Structure 1
Amino acid sequence: MFSIPYGRQNIDEADIAAVEAVLRSDWLTQGPAIERFERKVADYCGARHAVAVCNATAALHIACLGLGVAEGARVWTAPNTFVASANCARYCGADIDFVDIDGETFNLSPDALEAKFEQAAREGTLPAVLIPVHFAGQSCQMREIAEVARRYGCKVLEDASHAIGGRYLGEAVGGCRHSDAAVFSFHPVKIITSGEGGMVLTNDPELYQRLLRLRSHGITRDPAQMRGEAEGGWCYQQLELGFNYRMTDIQAALGASQMDRLDAFVERRRRRVADYRRELEDLPLSLPRQLPETDPAWHLLAARLDQPQWRRPLFDALRAEGILANVHYQPVYQQPYYRQLGFRDGLCPVAEAYYQRALSLPLYYDLTDEAFDRVIQAVRTSLSEIAS
């Protein structure tokens, strides 16, 4: 019996040919494929600038630095996310805090955010940057979130790692209409892949120039940015402490090729989510509510069971059938590292309640009808036995 993962990449002959062309070229890294990939993503999303890096964690890190996050600053994010959404602030020496989620979309709650800002204003603990996470590929309510954040002088960095190809208010996620910058991930389980890889998008030209430096040791070769006159054409200057976060041309070629099929990838995922909604509607579980202003990319399909005690036996039963269900996510602040910083249970009760009942079902481009039917039958049979 073949295993059914919760997510996986799709690689075709065009992808292989694109990578092979780079391998036969003069450039394996820091070459023209990088800029082609960046331009392709920026144009698709309607953003002015894009900076490709080695992974989305690196993208979040340099985006935070570019937005001024430093030691003593505060950053807020959602707890229902991978740890990178919070770790990026810690890399900068900043304090992190968490805003609870909406109980129906599983995304950051605008109401909880408003209340937290009001309290922080009274206490003098306002954040410098807010990182809303587009969980599972559905955009957060960015118009409302941006309005309240800017009222309190807070910059906004969208963690859109799950959401390339999604739309919000009729526009592509990543266009930064309601944020200062946005980040995508190209890990193999995401919508498109470059193997590993990430990207920061922004409409701010000064931020863009700093991101370019930060991804490559803080170095510039642009005479206009140098301190004093360049000695010659060989000259470069390190203007600040940056990192080696560069993407290779091999990765960029794969990512750019995958962009040609992004809409097809997303459309297949949307149809499969509709299939899940139809087939599971009579079971004691719920799927995330889709807001009318969103058209999600659906990186994940996260179900919420009616009872928390059903999650472990259902997870184990599905795994025994070769169906590699997963859980997304335990609240970040419940991880041992964050508990050491003083975080305790009860901070975000909606996220905690969601986690106790969460189970992600397989969702990817190559999920065949046969595999899908197998998942549905296994969920039905196992949940019926467990819940009876």
Structure 2
Amino acid sequence: MNTLAINGGKPVRDTYLPYGQQWIDDEDIEEVVKVLKSDFLTTGPKIEEFEKKFANYIGAKYAVAISNGTAALHAACFAAGIKEGDEVITTPITFAASANCILYQGGKPVFADIDPKTYNIDIEDVERKITKKTKAIIPVDFTGQPVDIDAVNDIAKKYGLIVIEDAAHSFGAEYKDKKIGSLVDMTTFSFHPVKHITTGEGGMITTNDDELYNKLKLFRTHGITRDEEILHNKDEGPWYYEQLELGYNYRMTDIQAALGISQLNKIDKFLERRREVANKYNEYLKDIDGIILPYQEEYTKSSWHLYIIQLESEKLRVGRKQIYQALQAENIGVNVHYIPVYYHPYYKKIGYEKGMCPNAEKLYDRIITIPLYPGMIDKDVEDVVGAIDKVIKYYRR
């Protein structure tokens, strides 16, 4: 076992362990089948049921179901009134959608650096990046640990900005004993299979604001409404509808909503297991010299979408690529989250360059995501720890 698998030794595991995986059981399947046998496959009663159940769980006034997490961000930027010439501040350590949604509306993403401890957006750098063109802030709850929401809201209030919290990683997380989803102007969620609950693809936007809620609903259905209260021509007839905005078809299906409702019934169990796995990692990995474990603020309770280790490069004989490949060879499905958004060729093409966020760039060179999902058993956790210990010891200076 001392010989690395990448060098011809026996892997720690015989089978591959992915970094993330959905949990689908017979109850989920039964609920989806019920919808398939019903009269409504889309725009039916399951959508509203899912929205109400979701809003109640997190304590928000409204929830708007939508086709995916990226669409949720796009809809939120539309509702916020982002337009050509506006600037929106976000983090570079995120999936590209957190910045792309600004471009969709003609706005300009402005990247603030990260806090080197939490890896979340640096609040002081956010304030430094504010100009007269700044319209909104999109903080991301990276890995499931909420940003300092009070600090973000204070800055937003000071400068008259809208806050769109990207909570794709943080469903079920808590900030100062309050669930994420009702603490800023709008909060967006993703239901991709590796997230806390899944609808296959899907997303949700939550808000407590009536005006934003109505804009979000309009945007997901082509900008079209049948609401008699806002129609321009109220006397045309019962078939009548009007397009009021240039919206999109971002609807969720009842098939997805049925799966989401069933998954939501299990969210507390999912969260409990994620936190158990994270706690085991914290305990088992803390004595391995050569890695840094995630830092958690006392006022947050992470939902642990991702568990990321940071390599202490100065203590290792090789770089991140070699460590990554060695762990993969041990059948541990590691990943990297994320490539800084402005590294991508598209962003370079539109004028972004390296060097803007030194903390984010340094972090990117050193991070590896290790497996974490509710279906992991204790033996899986032990295998991950054993593989990390084996690889780090081999490559340590």
Out of 204, 208, 214, which is 2:219 matched to?
214
CA–CA distance in structure 1, aligned partners of residues 350 and 243 of structure 2: 34
Out of 311, 331, 336, which is 1:305 matched to?
311
CA–CA distance in structure 2, aligned partners of residues 17 and 2 of structure 1: 30
In the TM superposition, residue 112 of structure 1 has moved relative to its aligned partner by 1.8
Deviations 1:264-307 (A, max 9, x none): 11111111111101111112211221111101100000111111
Q: Confirm or deny: 8 A CA contact 1:310 1:386 kept in the other structure.
A: no
Runs (4+) of structure 1 moved beyond 4 Å? none
Q: Match of 1:64, as an amino acid?
A: C
Q: Within the alignment, does 1:186 sit opposite 2:186 as a pair?
A: no
Q: Confirm or deny: 8 A CA contact 2:65 2:203 kept in the other structure.
A: yes
Show the 5 A alignment for 1:35-50. Answer: 35-50=48-63
Show the 5 A alignment for 1:136-215. Answer: 136-175=143-182, 177=183, 179-215=184-220
Out of 259, 263, 270, which is 1:265 matched to?
270
Out of 275, 279, 289, which is 2:284 matched to?
279
Tell me what 2:90 maps to: 77
Aligned residues: 380
Q: Confirm or deny: 8 A CA contact 2:327 2:387 kept in the other structure.
A: yes
Runs of 5+ consecutive residues of structure 2 not aligned to the other structure = 1-13
CA–CA distance in structure 2, aligned partners of residues 238 and 306 of structure 1: 56
Q: Match of 1:212, as an amino acid?
A: K
Deviations 1:222-269 (A, max 9, x none): 111101224111111111111000000000000111111111111111
Q: Confirm or deny: 8 A CA contact 1:313 1:386 kept in the other structure.
A: no
Q: Confirm or deny: 8 A CA contact 2:89 2:129 kept in the other structure.
A: no
Q: Within the alignment, does 1:292 sit opposite 2:298 as a pair?
A: yes
Tell me what 2:394 maps to: 385
In the TM superposition, residue 323 of structure 1 has moved relative to its aligned partner by 1.1
CA–CA distance in structure 2, aligned partners of residues 131 and 269 of structure 1: 26
State the Cα RMSD in Å: 1.0
- Secondary structure of the residue that 2:296 maps to in structure 1? coil
Deviations 1:133-185 (A, max 9, x none): 0000110001011101220111100000011011111110011x2x1100000
Deviations 1:188-236 (A, max 9, x none): 0001101100011011111111111100110101111101224111111
Tell me what 2:340 maps to: 331
Tell me what 2:29 maps to: 16
Show the 5 A alignment for 1:226-241. Answer: 226-241=231-246
In the TM superposition, residue 59 of structure 1 has moved relative to its aligned partner by 0.6
CA–CA distance in structure 2, aligned partners of residues 166 and 68 of structure 1: 28
Q: Confirm or deny: 8 A CA contact 1:223 1:230 kept in the other structure.
A: no
Tell me what 1:223 maps to: 228
Q: Sequence identity, in percent?
A: 46
Q: Confirm or deny: 8 A CA contact 2:280 2:381 kept in the other structure.
A: no
Q: Match of 1:185, as an amino acid?
A: S
Runs of 5+ consecutive residues of structure 1 not aligned to the other structure = none
- Secondary structure of the residue that 2:134 maps to in structure 1? coil
Q: Within the alignment, does 1:135 sit opposite 2:142 as a pair?
A: yes
Q: Confirm or deny: 8 A CA contact 2:43 2:254 kept in the other structure.
A: yes
How does the TM-score come out when normalised to structure 2?
0.94
